[in-house]
Amino acid sequence: MEGLQHTARLRVRAENFWCEGDMVVPRPGAYKGRVHDILNGNEQFIALTGVVLHNDTYGEDDDPVTHDVLIMRKGAIEFVVPLD
Q: Tell me what pLDDT residue 32 has.
A: 58
pTM, to two decimals: 0.82
Instruction: Kindly report, residue by residue over 10-53, the tens digit of the pLDDT.
Output: 999 998 899 999 999 876 665 556 888 889 989 999 999 999 99
Contact (Cβ atoms closer than 8 angstroms) between residue 44 and residue 82: no
Cα(first)–Cα(last) distance of the chain, in Å? 21
Instruction: Kindly report, residue by residue over 46-67, the tens digit of the pLDDT.
Output: 999 999 999 886 555 678 999 9
What is the rounded CA–CA span in Å between residue 29 and residue 24?
15
DSSP reduced 3-state for 5: strand
In the chain, the domains with their CATH numbers are 2-82 (2.30.30.100)
Phi-psi map region of 59: left, alpha, beta (phi>0 left; psi -120 to 50 alpha): left
Residues written for the chain: 84
